[in-house]
Amino acid sequence: MATEKKLHTIIIGAGTTGLLVAQGLKKANLPYSLYEYETDTSYQTRPREWGMTLHWGSEHVSNCLPPELVARLSETYADASIDPTSVKGLPIYNGKTGEQIMVMAAANPCRVSRKKLRNLFKEGLDVHYGKELVSVSIEAVEGEEGEKVVAVFKDGSKAVGDVLVGCDGARSTARECIVGKEAAGLTEVPLTMFNFTTKFPAELAEKVRGLSPLFVSAIHPDHGSMFWTSIQDVPSPDPSTWLFQVLMSWTHDPLPSHLQTYADRMAFFKSRSETYAEPWRSLGAAVPTSTNLPMDPGTLWEKASKWDNRDGRLTLCGDAAHPMTPHRGQGLNNALQDASNLVAALITASTNSSLAAAIDAYDAEVLARGTTEMQISYKQSMFIHSWETLMQSPMVKMGMHQAKKEEGGEGDAATAGAEEAK
């Protein structure tokens, strides 16, 4: 009869992925330690907030969360009054004429708040805040049987366990510790985004939500930029209180050098908005000029390849394993599947089964699925910003369904589709 091994898992990163892994291990009665580099104050008060699209990945949540938290998932919705099953598709418009181009297919999509989702997922968990990872090693530890994983933090403290999983996001320090800094490096692609939240006058807020209650995209044929709005929070029935997420993105080579100050970025945003049809022209005009516009590059892990998991002791999960561009809305959903799969692998390894075999299988699936989606999401990002290739983009052919390996195409992720999109 199999006996249970109490494998202790060190989780680096208390974002959505790390929290869900911790919940799954707690549910399975397996020990874990959860470390987050932000302080307990900055974790809650950081000014930047955004939403994520939850669709096919929702089926993996219940594998890790206890039933009482699964029942409260709607608390994380940007608008809890919307039943995801009532949303049949997401509209895409011609930004110059205002005409609808298509409706992108999606399986019961909903917008969730990153902050609300993290707060629900961390209920009942013990998080060690202010822990910035510095190094990871596998070594003999006094008082412990056999070799252990040792994580060292900037404050000099250490964590000792049997397995370490990096859940610390796209710019993962854990990934650097596992594969080396050069191999872990991200590739920046010729794509830039303004991504921020704001409120609109009541009439305008109602107008844009009249196009879709979740989010609306407009693509401008003249300069290939995208103007995207989504609902972020609905604190009351009064539309003037509704918070929206706004994203404007465009491709370039190179990045315009005049966008280094907030004033320059706002001037660029306003000028681009003026070229759009209604309601996007008015939406752009309504953004307060005092708003600071964060400017983010598009990135992905082009160098992703099989990593040395040291006999199953070191692995990656979520954006740390497959950072991708955001235009197909797949990051959260793949991260949820990662968390569910990893917990299942650790449950298997907690019996007399081989830890190395369980994590090898987990790693292989995550790498294959993640690489496929990085390629497709990058192709999506490049194709939708060019009017000539828009209708050949993955969102037209696939919608938002989970990618299959044969849909990923061939070639380097950072060049897939880029030549066609020029």
Q: Of 10-24, 39-53, 306-320, which range is least confident? A: 39-53
Per-residue tokens: 289: 């000029």
Q: Residue 260's pLDDT band (boundaries 50, 70, 90)? A: confident
**Residues 176, 202 share a domain:** no
Same domain for 341 and 407, yes or no, is: yes
- CB atoms near residue 94 (< 10 Å): 17
Same domain, 247 and 157: no
Check: CB of residue 396 under 8 Å from CB of residue 102: yes
Residues 157 and 233 in one domain: no
Q: Are residues 307 and 342 in the same domain?
A: yes
pLDDT at 85: 80
**What pLDDT score was predicted for residue 228?**
95
Q: Are residues 245 and 177 in the same domain?
A: no
pLDDT of residue 15: 96
**Can you name the residues that pair with 92 across neighbouring β-strands?**
102, 217
Q: What is the DSSP letter of 47?
A: S
Q: pLDDT digits over 192-242, tens only? A: 999 999 999 999 999 999 999 888 999 999 988 999 999 999 999 999 999
pLDDT at residue 3, rounded to an integer? 54
Of the residues 298, 321, 345, which one is the last residue of a structural domain?
Answer: 298
Tokens 């999109």 locate to 421
Q: Give the domain-ending residue among 267, 298, 329.
A: 298
Whether residue 171 has pLDDT greater than 60: yes
Tell me which of 298, 333, 365 is where a domain ends.
Answer: 298
Same domain, 328 and 345: yes
Q: Where are the beta strands (DSSP E) in 55-167?
A: 90-94, 100-104, 110-113, 127-128, 133-140, 147-153, 158-161, 163-166
What pLDDT digit, counting tens, does each position of 88-111 carry? Answer: 778 899 999 999 998 887 777 889
CATH number, domain at 257? 3.30.9.30
In a domain, 277, yes or no: yes
The answer, yes or no, to whether residue 47 has pLDDT greater than 90, is: no
Same-domain status, 165 and 53: yes
Element (H, E) at 32: strand 32-35
Co-location of 166 and 233 in the same domain: no
Does any domain span residue 90? no
Q: Does residue 92 form part of some domain?
A: no
386 and 239 within one domain: no
The structural domain count of the chain equals 2
> In the predicted model, is pLDDT for residue 27 greater than 60?
yes
- Which ranges of 28-127 does DSSP label H, i.e. alpha helix? 40-45, 67-70, 114-121
Per-residue pLDDT tens over the stretch 339-373 = 999 999 999 999 878 999 999 999 999 999 999 99
Same-domain pairing of 202 and 337: no
In a domain, 3, yes or no: no
Is 326 domain-assigned?
yes
Query: How many Å apart are CA 142 and CA 154, to the nearest integer?
Result: 22
- Say which CATH number the domain at 181 has: 3.50.50.60
Could you tell me which of 28, 29, 31, 39 has the C-alpha nearest to residue 11?
31
User: Which residues constitute the domain of residue 235?
Assistant: 189-298
Residue 145 has pLDDT above 90, yes or no: no
Residue 4 in any domain: the answer is: no
Residues near 46 by beta carbon (within 8 Å), at least 6 away in sequence: 38
Q: Say if residue 243 is in the same domain as residue 145.
A: no
Whole-angstrom distance, CA of residue 155 vs CA of residue 127 = 16
**Around Cβ 39, how many Cβ atoms within 10 Å?**
12
What 3-state DSSP class applies to 382?
A: helix
Does residue 105 lie in a domain region? no
Give the model's pLDDT for residue 53. 85
Domain assignment present for 367: yes
Report the alpha-carbon angle 253-184-347, nearest 5.
130
